[in-house]
Amino acid sequence: MTTETVDYDLLIPNNVGLAGDPKLRRALEQWHPGYIDWWMSMGPDGFQMADVWLRTAISVEKEGWAKFDYVKMPEYRWGILLAPEVENRTIPCGEHVGEPVWTEVPGAYRAMLRRLIVIQGDTEPASVEQQRFLGSTAPSIYDMRNLFQVNVEEGRHLWAMVYLLQKYFGRDGREEAQELLERQSGSADKPRMLGAFNEATPDWLSFFMFTYFTDRDGKMQLEALAQSGFDPLSRTCRFMLAEEAHHMFVGYTGVKRIVERTAQAMADGGVEDPYDTEAIRRLGVIDLPAIQRKTNLHFSLTLDLFGSEESTNAANFFNAGVKGRFHEDRLEDDHRLVDSTYPVMRTVDGDLRQVEVPALNALNARLRDDFIEDCQAGITRWNNEIAEHGIDFEITLPHVAFNRAIGEFGDISVTPDGSIVAREDFDGGRGDWLPTTEDQAYIESLMQPQLVPGEFAGWIAPPSRGIQGKPTDFEYVKLP
Ligand code: BYC
Ligand code: FE
Ligand code: FE
């Protein structure tokens, strides 16, 4: 039984009727200490005792679902919240299209659902692990708070998946829930499941790029899972999406403020050439070509998260009705796709060409195309910032085949503008296309903490406003 109002009396706030489900409650309460241990050892390093002005989800209504207050992160109320049930919802795609949604796991799709939920769950704590050392180099108290907000909510997203595992997958689910706390980002023997979640997030530009691009993969995947015929998964993902918007906001505004500061410093310092790295770095800001190289890296790593462009797994997920397309319920076609085609890019005779393939096999490519479109809007606004300062430079998304490890382009070398080249030529161009050790050393040299409320590090502009009506110089984090 689920309710609109959230029960805050239990250890685990929830709207899934936990008080009346002792078996599930016991399973989750047994998992809880391990989670806290994980949070203390792998969560934000050095700030667990700070009072952070955080948003906590307290309802699942469209408006007013969150409250803001000072919280010590280990005391954050990680809850289990499902979006309200949609009356008479039906399975939106595949061979069961139009049938009532499932409220229990269909036996035939149990393995498939379990795998999707585990993969989704695995990314959430992974990102917290990747970001755990960033607090100590925060460019402001405002940014520090945003980092921790993202971190506690990724923690809640882990809870969301663990709820599904414990409630619907019995013993297997409990084992998977345990393993979600055991794998570790970047670990040699127990790494996280997907590539990008084992990469480092060594500096704040990377953090903003990660939240711009990789959290947006989160959005796209959650949108696709929100279309699931397994209704508890759908409702869980729908509520996660409400939180996800802020993560992408942090990334979008973060990069925008860096670009703005660079453009401003160049204009003030009379540096016109965006490639005059030395002069620009002397101003203490990040040159636009280095920002482009970080864009190239994070975009290409994130594209790998969509899997192979042509995938029978993806076709099976869709056919079964366990994972839909982006906005499946708003698309107008037969939602079965047995006879339709979709254009994907392939390497044909040493060239990159669009080829029509069966639409069912191209669902990863399609979601990735939707993702790329979603990425572009913010980049256009970054570029406006550059143009407004009279600087001749545009940040662009590299070609989809650039720097890829998974799928059709995984074993060829392609330049950012889409030419297939020999491995040696790619290695020769690498320093122009991907962050170099000098870029990294320079960026890391800028990462000095700025802990005075209202003050911002010199390489990033202040935000145009604070959080939830508070001023930008509000004490968003009170250090102990
Ligand atoms: N790395 O048919 P294929 C988020 C595996 S982010 C390593 O091409 P499929 C968040 C694949 O598992 C969103 N392995 O792909 C963001 C398969 O293995 P098996 C996370 C990879 O299965 C920021 C094999 O290769 N959610 O929430 O159609 C902060 C062939 O697979 C990779 C999801 O991803 C890779 N990159 O699609 C916090 C949604 N790619 O089965 C959070 C759930 C593929 O042969 N996951 N493989 O052993 C899925 O929908 C699918 O698993 C994928 C892959 C889209 C990831
Ligand atoms: Fe998440
Ligand atoms: Fe996120």
Each residue's pLDDT tens digit, 171-230: 999 999 999 999 999 999 999 999 999 999 999 999 999 999 999 999 999 999 999 999
- Interval between CA 447 and ligand 2 midpoint (Å): 25
- In contact, 50 and 149? CB cutoff 8 Å: no
Please say whether the beta carbons of 381 and 394 come within 8 A: no
Distance 311 CA to ligand 2 centre (A): 24
Query: How remote is the CA of residue 308 from the centroid of ligand 1, in Å?
Result: 9
CATH domain 18-478 topology: Ribonucleotide Reductase, subunit A (1.10.620)
Rg (CA), the chain: 23
Cβ of residue 207 lying under 6 Å from some atom of ligand 1: no
Give the number of other Cβ atoms within 10 Å of residue 247's Cβ.
24
Atom number, ligand 1, closest to the C-alpha of residue 305? 36
Q: Is 395 in the pocket of ligand 1 (CB under 6 A)?
A: no
477 touches 50 (CB < 8 A)? yes
Query: Are 114 and 172 contacting, i.e. CB atoms less than 8 angstroms apart?
Result: yes
Site to substitute for ligand 1 among 180, 221, 357, most atoms within 8 A of C-beta: 221
C-alpha angle 59-214-77 in degrees, rounded to nearest 5: 30
In the chain, the amino acid numbered 62 is K
- DSSP bridge partners of 356: 343
Residues 248-273 pLDDT 10s: 999 999 999 999 999 999 999 999 99
Q: Any idea which residue has 């918007």 for tokens?
A: 245
- Say how many Å lie between the CA of residue 393 and the centre of ligand 1: 34
Ligand 1 in reach of 116 Cβ (< 6 A): yes
CB of residue 433 inside a 6 A radius of ligand 1: no
**Closest-lying ligand 1 atom to the alpha carbon of residue 323:** 50
Determine if ligand 1 sits within 6 Å of the CB of residue 251: no
Contacts of 468 (CB under 8 A, 6+ apart): 55, 68
Q: Which amino acid is at 111?
A: A
What is the greatest pairwise CA distance in the chain?
Answer: 68
Residues 311 and 323: their CA atoms lie apart, in Å, by 13
pLDDT at 170: 94
**pTM, rounded to two decimals:** 0.97
Determine the pLDDT at residue 272: 95
Ligand number nearest CA of 154 is: 2
CA 126 to ligand 2 centroid distance, Å:
10
52 three-class SS: strand
Q: Are 306 and 296 in contact (CB under 8 A)?
A: no
Q: Is the CB of 436 under 6 A from ligand 1?
A: no
Ligand nearest to the CA of 160: 2
Residue 447 one-letter amino acid: M
Ligand 1 pocket residue status of 215, Cβ below 6 Å: yes
The 3-state DSSP class for residue 419 equals coil
The ligand minimizing its distance to the Cα of 246 is 3
Contact 229, 102 (CB under 8 A): yes
Count of CB atoms situated within 10 Å of the CB of 361: 21
**Residue 258 C-alpha from the chain's centroid:** 20
Q: How far, in Å, CA of 312 to CA of 476, rounded?
A: 47
Tell me whether residue 464 is exposed, middle or buried, using C-beta atoms within 10 angstroms of its C-beta: 0 to 12, 13 to 18, 19 or more.
exposed
Whether the CB of 313 sits within 6 Å of ligand 1? yes
Q: CA 244 to CA 234: how far, in whole Å?
A: 15
**Ligand 1 mutation target, pool 194, 222, 237, most atoms within 8 A of CB:** 194
CB of residue 316 inside a 6 A radius of ligand 1: no
Q: Is 199 in the pocket of ligand 1 (CB under 6 A)?
A: no
Ligand 1 mutation target, pool 241, 308, 318, most atoms within 8 A of CB: 308
Question: Can you list the residues of the chain whose pLDDT is less than 50?
Answer: none
Distance 124 CA to ligand 1 centre (A): 13
Q: Which ligand is nearest to the CA of 218?
A: 1
Q: Give the Cα separation of 202 and 443 in Å (integer).
A: 10
Cβ–ligand 1 contact at 307 (below 6 Å): yes
The amino acid at 449: P
N-terminal to C-terminal alpha carbon distance within the chain: 41
For residue 249, the tally of other CB atoms under 10 A from its CB is 16
